Structure 1
């Protein structure tokens, strides 16, 4: 685990109780971009913050002759860099310390405008180069076949990234434009944020360069930490969104990354603006916020899950809830005890029922809701400190003597 704080580098090897400090001269304000690179079995970490550095596990040294890199990305054995201008730079094959021509090179990416490049990411066989309103495509491996497809030949002539991050996820890249969240492939872009448009529209657009995005591979979700707007997650399987997540302790997320656990499975890490590094997921069935590293203490996370209104096929008819044949498919772990609530639009009629875990695994829990109304609102609340999973639910009602 590697972190930058106060201009110095800190690392923690597996099993180490504390971080080890390495004296360095990193920026204390700039966003930092990391890129690991292994040459001949020797791993090194390249770090860009307006200057390109190399850390070999012992010492940090500036890469002489490199561009003033703010972002770096490995693509087809070369390292690529952005420096806040319209230019993309690339190094020699298998040597991120050599950027000079003819082994290295650079290209001016003019895509309808002279705006600077904001982000880069690899998907398929291409390197995508984003500005705030456009995305170009870089292909090729040598001076003879390197090509930058721009304008109408590029990926998008009118949608780009307003953050420094294009996050790899399920054979595509997730990014945020001034129109909200999108995913990009080699062939084009697709909006995925229709359900959260009001949230992104209301966020502070001028601070989106402070946003932090990370793909949680285990959950298959992209977690977006937005400055001034909280955290929201995009489920890459269903296309759904959930949030806002609130963290106890009133800390902001300055950075985030994927993290491999001791068992080889993945989680995510959050770098807080209070100087702490936190694991951003729970793999042991515990939904407790701000736990210590040994698993002790912490505050149970209160979950509130709201569904769309239920009309039972006829929004105008008054329905009578039928207590028979109602159940929720839930995995409540060892101790989950959610409260399930059904509220009617007529006279605020509300029914609630608490479900208590019958042990780990998906089980069908019977419920019995009464009441009547034209539309029903359904939500689930839980503060047991247990991770619970909903796998579906069935409610029934009657109208004019018919079961719905």
Structure 2
């Protein structure tokens, strides 16, 4: 009789030829536990999903309560569902006044697709600009604006009228014109290995978009919800987007995405054609209940207040001659090594030592650290000591 690992390899669609194939059976806080009873410090947090930790009691309670009320009852947008309404209200209360309408989706990729459609519909323009080494999802539209040819090339033809610029290049901003519908940028480039906007470049991008009537779409799918030390990363760079993309931590561990805009803009999707953007499971009531509870925990427990101190603890401990660089923006950290082979050996060794981490799509020589925000100083110290011990 085949075990679960063999069944996984035989019957579950694979994303790589060599998956980790660890069988996890429990998660709590910033810890994972496998079928053999082994414990892992989780430095990935589901890739920026589990910001309030795995299975926070208030999130679990909210899910159980919603299970007793109803699960899916109708496609998104037709019925008043309390979890959607209350979550949208709380989100918009914590956002600038112009970001007052939330369109829920089932994933971050779907949020990207919705924002692309809204931009074209609202502006009447067709060109979309994104940036090299950017990641916004892997559906066909999101893939078309992905900033790396290795992942895009096998699936051509993709969407036409896409232009890619260099992140942090002031010179490249001149390519934004009156025919550009939107510019889509990660507030902090995640899969590029944690690249932050420098020298007021993001403000210059905002000003160029405003001058040309172009919509600025900021992707905070990975970096939102306190990950960078403020509730929204764009707050640190003194800009406000026209459309904000959310996902990952939005659902508190459940699948949920959203794009947020001004209601006057969002209403463009409701007519000519009617149902201009729809989905079945967007804003699923259980996911919204979980996300709402997680967001309330994030605010009530003031988890963001400790992010910068935890970042500094990581930075102080990640010191070794074999580390070429460490880049960080809050609890989004990239540890750079000589090459992918070196990095992969370190990642594999860490897993055997009970530290769970991985690499970045466009920076495969960099080790990813994006833990739950609830990770303790003791867990940080233990993980970093294991990293440096392996390097030695």
Specify the TM-score bucket, using the shorter chain as the normaliser. under 0.3
The normalised TM-score by structure 2 is: 0.24
Larger of the two Rg values belongs to structure: 1
Question: Per residue, is there more strand in 1 or in 2?
Answer: 1
Higher RCO by CA contacts (8 Å cutoff, separation 6 or greater): 2
The normalised TM-score by structure 1 is: 0.24
Question: Per residue, is there more helix in 1 or in 2?
Answer: 2
